[in-house]
Structures are given as C-alpha cells and as structure tokens.
Amino acid sequence: EPEVTQTPSHQVTQMGQEVILRCVPISNHLYFYWYRQILGQKVEFLVSFYNNEISEKSEIFDDQFSVERPDGSNFTLKIRSTKLEDSAMYFCASSEYGTGGASGYGYTFGSGTRLTVV
C-alpha cells in the first residue's frame, strides 16, 4: 500500500537554528499538509498546499514557517529560527482530493518527525 514517507524520524536542533523536515507524499496525490502534535496535546493543523501554493494555514503557521515542493516528489516544512516551543511531532499528510464532496476520503499520514529543540 502506498505510504507517505517522512525523514528524519527524529531531529535534534539548537534553539535559533533553521530546520527542514522532509516528506515524500503519495505519488498521485495533489494535496499536501503539515500537522504537529506537541507531546501530550492535540494534533493541530499547520498548513495545506496545492498547485504550488498555500491553500490554507492556521494561526500557528507564522512567518517562521514555510513550505515548499522543491521537485516533483518532495514536500518540505522549514522552520527558520527554532524555539523551544517548536518541539513536537510533525506529521506530513497527502490526499488525492481536496475540499468539497471529496472531503470525506481522508488523508494518508506519514509516521512523523520528532523535532526536539534544545
């Protein structure tokens, strides 16, 4: 069964450093997402991406965050200057369909990248 692949599985970074989290969505999917889960808390939406642009973002997704699809297969989340509170599990997801009547099909999530900011 097709999978969403995320690398690395765990990353430790110094506060203030830039970090790039990488994802390879399912090949025929057109919609891409990032979610995060702070330890012991809810999974929260960060951003959705379609047709090489952000289609929706949450209030969490401020100027320190950016997303990119640098080539035909990868989808990245960059955090420019990491803070301690950015420590979380970051999940990438993809879907074949977007909003509207196809919303019910659900996403395929990756296994996540655990980011630890020290």
Q: Which residues bind other proteins (CB under 8 A)?
A: 3, 31, 33, 35, 41-45, 48, 55-56, 58, 89, 91, 93, 98-101, 103-112
Q: How near is the Cβ of 57 to other proteins at its closest, in Å?
A: 9
Q: How near is the Cβ of 81 to other proteins at its closest, in Å?
A: 25
Q: How near is the Cβ of 16 to other proteins at its closest, in Å?
A: 27
CB of 33 or CB of 65, closer to other proteins: 33
CB of 74 or CB of 98, closer to other proteins: 98
Q: What is the 3-state secondary structure (H, E, C) of the chain?
A: CCCCEEECCEEEECCCCCEEEEEECCCCCCEEEEEEECCCCCEEEEEEEECCEEEEECCCCCCCEEEECCCCCCEEEEECCCCHHHCEEEEEEEECCCCHHHHHHCCEECCCEEEEEC
CB of 17 or CB of 99, closer to other proteins: 99
Longest dimension (CA), the chain: 43
Q: How near is the Cβ of 59 to other proteins at its closest, in Å?
A: 11
10-13 vs 113-117, strand pairing mode: parallel
CB of 15 or CB of 102, closer to other proteins: 102
